[in-house]
């Protein structure tokens, strides 16, 4: 897959491609969402 800027549509690209810590920030964000959802569902006694 080629996500780099081929045809000038930069807003379509993955934002973490040209960022030094892009993947780290992405993984931390996804982990935070999972933990938040787990705690919310646990508090509602859905788990």
**pTM higher than 0.75, yes or no?**
no
Instruction: Return the domain boundaries, the chain.
Output: 20-47
Instruction: Check residue 10 and give its pLDDT.
Output: 64
pLDDT in tens, 3-43: 666 666 666 667 667 778 888 888 999 999 999 999 999 99
Tokens 């992405």 sit at which residue? 26
pLDDT at 18: 72
- Beta-carbon contacts of 15 under 8 Å, excluding residues fewer than 6 positions away, are 22
Do residues 4 and 13 make contact, with C-beta atoms less than 8 angstroms apart? yes
The whole-number pLDDT of residue 16 equals 66
25 to 8, 13, 21, 29, 40: CA distances (angstroms): 25, 16, 6, 6, 22
**Structure confidence at residue 36 (pLDDT):** 98
């Amino acid at each position: 897959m080629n996500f780099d800027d081929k045809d000038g549509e930069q807003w379509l690209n993955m934002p973490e491609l040209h960022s030094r810590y892009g993947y780290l920030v992405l993984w931390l964000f996804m982990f935070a969402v999972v933990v938040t959802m787990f705690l919310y569902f646990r508090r509602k006694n859905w788990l």
